[in-house]
Amino acid sequence: MNSNLKNKVAIITGARRGMGKADALLLSQVGAKVVVADISQEECQLVADEIKKNGGEALAIKCDVTNKKEIEEMVKKTVEKFGQVDILVNNAGICEFKPFLEMTEEEWKKTLDINLKGYFLCAQACAKEMAKQKSGVIVNIASVVMGQIGKGMAGLAHYSASKGGIAALTKTLALELAPYNIRVNTIAPGAIDTPMAASSKIDPKMLEATLAMIPLHRMGKPEEIASTVLFLASEDSSYITGSIIVVDGGWLA
């Protein structure tokens, strides 16, 4: 196993809580210098302080992934602080239920802007730096709720479309960026117990029905996604690119 990320620099979006925070903590534990990026500078700083308290290196940066200028500034600050960008974890996203017939254009646009456009902008900005050094890894976080290669879910037309787009984007970027020795993969989580989808907030009947469809009969933990991120970010996965790895407790099985 070669999961040591010593001297690697990782940017993680949506890192103030949930899966993104778990990613930041784990990657820092194995030696990566971590940029904690999200929409709240204060909450990002709390995660960065936790990493530093545990002996790691971290930089907190407020970044709205729908804003190209803020993304470019994030990458610039990262290079100024740490000298390079080796890993991008595209994790920032939203999931808001709304019946399709009631969904507004604004709600559709907001979800696609954050969940898909944001991934494109962050990947492009980071890949430009990675291309200079002829190495890099991009890990995109999608979902099992992404249509043909996953499943649909009522009330999430916009979310499902965005996650399906991430899967398609991943495969194309893997082809285009391979000449620069940049690998691009996607993780498709199932039901994960995060602040955005906490089991304590879900209607008990809906939770029971969901767990009944999962062979392991439980929600996943953010740390279980983080361990997959680490695998894809490390040399352990050096021959994997353009892949979609499902982490769902057997839901799609």
Q: Which helix (H) or strand (E) holds 141?
A: strand 136-141
184 touches 140 (CB < 8 A): yes
What is the structure's pLDDT at 246?
A: 97
Per-residue pLDDT tens digits for 189-201: 999 998 765 555 5
What is the structure's pLDDT at 17?
A: 97
* Gap between the Cα atoms of 27 and 141, Å rounded: 16
What is the structure's pLDDT at 172?
A: 98
Under the banding of pLDDT at 50, 70 and 90, the label for residue 100 is very high
- Residue 180 known to be catalytic: no
Under the banding of pLDDT at 50, 70 and 90, the label for residue 151 is confident
What is the structure's pLDDT at 249?
A: 95
Under the banding of pLDDT at 50, 70 and 90, the label for residue 238 is very high
E strand intervals along 158-207: 182-189
Q: Which CATH number fits domain 9-246: 3.40.1160.10, 3.40.640.10, 3.40.50.720, 3.40.718.10?
A: 3.40.50.720
Find the largest Cα–Cα distance for the chain.
52
Write down the mean pLDDT value for the chain.
Answer: 94
88 touches 34 (CB < 8 A): no
DSSP-derived secondary structure letter, 113: I
Under the banding of pLDDT at 50, 70 and 90, the label for residue 150 is confident
More confident residue, 205 or 248: 248
Q: For residue 152, what are its two tokens?
A: 């649909």
Mean pLDDT of 95-100: 94
What are the C-alpha distances in Å from 107 to residues 114, 155, 203? 11, 12, 23
Catalytic residue, chosen from 119, 159, 180, 239, is 159
29, burial (CB in 10 Å: exposed 0-12, middle 13-18, buried 19+):
middle
Is it the case that residue 124 has pLDDT exceeding 70? yes
